[in-house]
Amino acid sequence: MPTPVRTSSSQSTSTSSDLWSTIPWGRFAVYWILTYFLFAGSGLLLYTFWLATANSVLLFALQVWPPAFLVLMSWLYFRKVKSNDWPERLLTAFLWILLIAVVSAALMTPVYGASWTAAFTQTKIVGYGVNMSAILLGGIFAAIKRPKAEIPEGLEL
């Protein structure tokens, strides 16, 4: 069974200034922008299709898609990051969700015609917590190093 491998030499006693320097900010920005636009666009499309059809499968997809998509994107982000420990995962997840909440609040009036405070209802905050957990899960999956299969003698290409 694959086991998680520590991909960083940092210890839990690292200071916050050390933590900020471990985040690859260019990669962080590119992945966050890509994640947000794909996340928001696909969610809006699913919501529109659900409103048009009232199909229960689409309603289920609306509930499952955001965390599943964030697990995928965070796994893609964390698999090439040099430092993938809990402090880095928590900071990255917190910042991604904070940025999603702020941008969603800024777009709430022009896109949905609602007040910006609609992005901070209790239901939305619970959803942000679920999405943060999904980002952490993607980081955990990225930290799992699978052993390479050995090719038996005589079967090499």
Question: pLDDT (tens digit, 9 = 90+) per residue, 45-90?
Answer: 999 999 999 999 999 999 999 999 999 999 999 998 888 889 999 9
**Which of the pair, 148 or 94, is modelled with greater confidence?**
94
Which one, of 92, 72, 115, lies nearest residue 28 by Cα? Answer: 92
Q: What angle do CA 139, 140, 146 make, to 5 degrees?
A: 115
Spell out the domain ranges in the chain.
24-145
All residues at 6 or more sequence positions from 78 whose CB lies less than 8 Å from its CB, including other chains: 84, 89, 92, 138, 139, 142, 143
- Phi, psi values for residue 156, rounded to 5°: -65, 150
pLDDT, residue 6, reads: 52
- Tell me which amino acid residue 39 is: F
Q: How far apart are CA 145 and CA 113, in angstroms?
A: 46
